[in-house]
Amino acid sequence: MAPKGRSDAGQAFPIYMVMVAGLLFLAFAFFAVGQASATRNGAQGAADAAALAAAQDARDDLGAPLLEALRSPDGLDRFLRLHQYGRIGCDRAQWLALDNDSDLDPSPSVPDGCVWDTGYLEDKVTARVRTRYTVGDSVIPGTERKHATAQATAVIKFRCSPEVRDIPDAEPGSDDEADKGSEANLPIVTLSDCGGRDIPIDLGNADPLAGLSKLIFAVQLIDD
């Protein structure tokens, strides 16, 4: 009986080693999946930050064109329909991507890695990024060269009613327009229902939106 027991133990040892090797491989494979997930999450965080930065930077530049629009009849409607952003905000998006060890990543749907989609009451900016770092070495071949990509979209929403109250009729060519103090005589107009409140804007003020842009324009991330 003793020799038979030693024979069984000898046969079981290779099986045991194969099982241990298999478990180790699975452990390393799960670790590689975790590395890939962490890299993907890092890319998504960089994309979110880049899209928000682009939208916030663009919102900061809306004061002057909006003021000009409010000074003419139907100007607000034209502004909401036709205002174009071009590359405004995209340089800021690149800076935020760099802060997260990533770069804007051009693709057919996101040229230059940052693109605007303008609408009537809201405008969207999409940022696509690629991490500068890789998943890293693992038991899965090629992960040491694998970068992660992700994209995010932020929206600038006009929070007020598109109807403007108290805006005067324009008088093109009038002598008053040439007067040095003509802007001082411009009235106060009201943007209504801006997140539950009315906002008066003095058209004679060179910068009437200082400190108020967050009330007039909301910025947030949305699902792609």
pLDDT score of 110: 94
- Identify the pLDDT of residue 123: 94
Q: Which domain holds residue 87?
A: 13-222
The tokens describing 81, both together, are 């329909």
Give pLDDT, residue 194: 86
Residue 6 lies in a domain: no
The answer to whether residue 1 is domain-embedded is: no
Judge whether 148 lies within some domain.
yes
pLDDT at 181: 47
> In this structure, which amino acid lies at residue 33?
V
Give the contacts of 81 (CB within 8 A, at least 6 positions apart). 120
Give domain status of residue 149, yes or no.
yes
Please report whether residue 8 resides in a domain. no
Distance between CA 107 and CA 121 in Å, rounded? 27
pLDDT at position 64, please? 80
Q: Residue 143: which region, alpha, beta or left (left: phi > 0; alpha: psi -120 to 50)?
A: alpha
**Would residue 4 count as lying in a domain?**
no
pLDDT in tens, the chain (224 residues): 455 555 555 566 566 565 655 555 555 555 555 666 778 889 999 999 999 999 999 998 888 888 888 888 888 999 998 888 888 899 999 999 999 999 999 999 999 999 999 988 899 999 999 999 886 655 456 556 688 899 999 999 999 988 877 644 445 444 444 444 444 556 788 888 888 888 888 887 766 665 677 788 999 999 86
Query: Is residue 115, in this structure, part of any structural domain at all?
Result: yes
Phi/psi at 10 (5° precision): -65, -35
Say if strands 122-134 and 199-202 run parallel, antiparallel, or are unpaired. unpaired
- pLDDT recorded at residue 73: 84
pTM for this predicted structure? 0.74
> 149 in the Ramachandran plot: left (φ > 0), alpha (ψ -120 to 50) or beta?
beta
Chain position carrying tokens 């500068």: 132
What is residue 163's predicted lDDT score, i.e. its pLDDT?
A: 83
The phi and psi torsions of 193 (rounded to 5 degrees) equal 55, 45
User: Does a structural domain hold residue 186?
Assistant: yes
The pLDDT score that the predictor gives to residue 173 is: 47
Q: What is the pLDDT of residue 207?
A: 64
- pLDDT score for 109: 92
For residue 136, give both structure tokens. Answer: 């890293």
CA–CA separation, 12 vs 154, rounded Å?
60
In the chain, how many domains are there? 1
